[in-house]
A and B are shown apart, each in its own frame.
Chain A
Amino acid sequence: MNILAYLIPISLCLGGAGLAFFVYTVRSNQYDDPEGDARRILSDDYDERPKS
């Protein structure tokens, strides 16, 4: 059962990382335009270099 001492912190850290990423996506307005973002990925405007 000693393995629990590693597994529990690891699972909590992974879950926490997921939560942190979700918070980051909310903060950076990534849910403001779900429809537009779904289509934007199809446009090849910024394939060569990122938007300056």
Chain B
Amino acid sequence: MTAVVHQPLSACPACAAVPAAQAVADVAQPEAQIALSLPTIHCAACISKVETGLNAHPGVISARVNLTLKRASIEAEPDVTAQEMADFVESLGYEAHELDPGTLSSTATDKMGRELLMRLAVAGFASMNVMLLSVAVWSGAEDATRDLFHWISAAIALPAIAFAGQPFFRNAWGALRHGRLNMDVPITLAILLAVGTSLWETTLSGDHAYFDAALTLTFFLLAGRYLDHRTRAVARSAAEELTALEVPRATRVRDGVEQQVALADLSVGDSILVRPGGRMPVDGEITQGMSELDRSLLTGETLPVQAAPGQLVSAGEVNLTGPLIIRANAVGKDTSLHQMADLVAIAESGRSRYTSLADKAAKLYAPGVHILSALAFVGWYLATFDLRTALNIAAAVLIITCPCALGLAVPAVTTAASGRLFRRGMLIKHETAIERLAQVDTVVFDKTGTLTTGTPVLINAEAIPEDKLAIAMALAQGSSHPLARAIVQAGQATGANPEQVHDITEVPGFGTQATLKGQEIRLGRASWTGGQAGEHTTTFLRIGEDAPVAFEFTDQLRAGAAEAVSALKKAGHTVYLMSGDTTPAVQSLANRLGITHWLAEALPADKSTRIQAMTEKGAHVLMVGDGLNDTAALSAAHVSISPASALDAARVASDIVLLGGDLAPIAEACTTARSATRRIRENFRIATVYNVIAVPLAVAGLATPLIAALAMSFSSITVSLNALRLR
């Protein structure tokens, strides 16, 4: 999860109070709807603690916790801000992050899912009642009783199918109108023909009516649809939550007054204050301040670059050391962040259109069934010249072959597989992602932020005398610079205590300085401390006029990175490393992980063309990346994964999101995907076997409604059970 960056307080309280009051006046609305993400709640006590706490808070009208989504929705007085609420919940002892309600609105009411559930319930109710009546007919009800039961069945089935079958009818009509065939066309035809002939039989007081079959079919197929929908809804809501965690705000400075505004309200020429730790909201030019910028998400460079007035910055870069004031050159859709979308669009058009297994099956199946049923009709008509018998047989063939099991074959497996992967921290965003992941033979990793965390660690702590480390810790303590934090961490690990130093000042863009026993001490860049930069990322400590002490850093490996790479190689995949970082940095990482194919200093376009070239050679590429420079590559690859810490653009472009910080699940996911695809194929085979047994019976005119009902239920149940075997 993304950590909330707490912004430092302003130096003068009055300056802060004025814009704060103004900001409140600006957002004044009748009632504020606030959504908070509470990732750590897990029990009944958590719910009641958060709810009673929030409800007792003045300004809160009502609050409700949703444990399934791990979210709290608060209805509050207009003057209550989301930040206040998040801080309040944190004071209760739970981690809380603000969510952008605008992004979440679509999940609030899941209308589609509710509609499907309603249709499923109606179909279930009707099929159970009709089945009860049918059991009486199968066990020997005759004459008037049978006719009565058939009429009652018809009275239940007709309205139920008219309501519950709508999704199939709509899809089938849509496909037919464009001159195509999909799975819904034979389904619709089977349902309509079954109901039609049954009605006709009933009016003639015939023996066989297929109302139960038509309804059970609708029920099973709707169950498949609902499973499918649930899987996707869960993934969508989790993906939306990741986006909603990034509330788009910026601090605009106008006539010396700071004001928090929404990104949408910024315009070109505005002055924007970006505090240390903040991300550039727009493209622009630095007008005031000195600092360093972390551009790793955009370019893959690990080393911070120096920032001074006059320099151009682009949206997405992170400001590290000193406050910067930038003048916006491009806002909203014009920023470089959004222009990257063009590159993505080009890459997407190059991606080979993947046909899902279900579509492939439908393409084979739909015409086959229609031809078979038509042949049965023609054959029987020519043999007997009895339209009624011929129509009955045709309907029986359609019902028996109807893809009840086929309709469940894919959703049952994908639901089981997505659930399994979700518990391991992987969010499957795209419906065919699992099938595509199963085909992967080449894996391309990005470096910064993907294989490495993007945070440096001190590697030569043993070589540094303890007193020097203590001094460096004292200097580093107050800074939010990643290298400074690495020094503090390393110092704490060795048990060193920071030295007492005076007059600590941060010199943005260079380092930190202070005085110790009358001597000036500096910790910072080579050029500023008189050090010699080496192969690694290095910072220097200079005490007085002594020779500077080097602190060397390397990028920390992400948890599970080594395991993931070795497991993928063991599974026979070719592993590549492509990064925008410098050659020595990429080379040392490739050596550390045992990756033989690597590419350094790659531009975003390089990455995607490389992947396209591999695809043309017949490889199925899995791209794992997080940065803006990976976005095009992510869309060009056969299937793509990005960590949750990635930029929004990268997460949107990828098919799977890794929710935890660990990379190890990637290798397991490939295995799971492969066994899921195997199960899908098995399910298709099971369904075919049932058809092979039942179709001759139907064509021979031996398929009674009882046989149809049995074949249908058994094949659906076997297919669902087979899906649950997934490991």
Contact = CB atoms under 8 A, between A and B. Distances in A.
Interface of A: 1, 4, 8, 11-12, 15-16, 18-19, 22-23, 26, 31-36, 39-40, 42-43, 45
26 contacts: A4-B145, A4-B148, A8-B152, A11-B129, A11-B132, A12-B156, A19-B121, A19-B122, A22-B121, A23-B118, A23-B121, A26-B118, A26-B121, A31-B117, A32-B66, A32-B68, A33-B66, A34-B68, A35-B67, A36-B47, A36-B66, A36-B67, A39-B43, A39-B44, A40-B44, A43-B45
B125 interface: yes
Contact of B69 (A11, A12, A33): A33
B68 A35 contact: yes
Contact of B67 (A8, A12, A26, A33): A33
Interface string B117-148: 11001100100110011000000000001001
A42 B45 CA distance: 9
Contacts of B48: 43, 45
Nearest to B69: A33
A47 B346 CA distance: 61
A26 to B, nearest CB: 6
Given A36-B65, A43-B45, 4 more contacts: A23-B118, A33-B67, A36-B67, A43-B47
Contacts of B47: 36, 39-40, 43
A11 B68 CA distance: 36
Contacts of B29: none
A11 B69 CA distance: 39
A17 to B, nearest CB: 10
B44 A42 contact: yes
Interface in B683-727: none
B351 interface: no
A15 B68 contact: no
B170 interface: no
B582 to A, nearest CB: 48
Interface of chain B: mostly helix, strand, loop or mixed: helix
B311 interface: no
Interface string B376-409: 0000000000000000000000000000000000
B52 interface: yes
A11 B153 CA distance: 13
A1 B69 CA distance: 54
B68 A33 contact: yes
Contacts of A16: 125
Nearest to B110: A32
Contacts of B121: 19, 22-23, 26
B52 A45 contact: yes
Interface of B: 43-45, 47-48, 52, 65-69, 114, 117-118, 121-122, 125, 128-129, 132-133, 145, 148, 152, 156
A36 B67 CA distance: 5
Nearest to B117: A26
A15 B129 contact: yes
Nearest to A42: B44
Name the 9 nearest CB pairs between A and B, nearest first: A36-B67, A39-B44, A35-B68, A19-B125, A33-B66, A43-B44, A42-B44, A35-B67, A33-B68
A19 B25 CA distance: 50
B432 to A, nearest CB: 27
A20 to B, nearest CB: 10
A49 B205 CA distance: 60
A34 B68 CA distance: 7
A31 B122 CA distance: 17
A33 B44 CA distance: 13
A47 to B, nearest CB: 12
A12 B128 CA distance: 10
Contacts of B128: 15
B512 to A, nearest CB: 48
Contacts of A26: 114, 117-118, 121
A48 to B, nearest CB: 14
Contacts of B122: 19
A16 B155 CA distance: 14
A12 B153 CA distance: 11
A46 to B, nearest CB: 9
Most-contacted residue by chain B among A11, A36, A40, A43 (CB, 10 A):
A36
A4 B147 CA distance: 13
A40 B66 CA distance: 10
A26 B114 CA distance: 7
Contacts of B66: 32-33, 36
B153 to A, nearest CB: 11
A43 B68 CA distance: 17
Contacts of A32: 66, 68
Contacts of A40: 44, 47
Nearest to A44: B48
Given A33-B66, A33-B68, A39-B44, A15 B52 contact: no
A36 B68 contact: yes
Contacts of A12: 129, 156
Contacts of A19: 121-122, 125
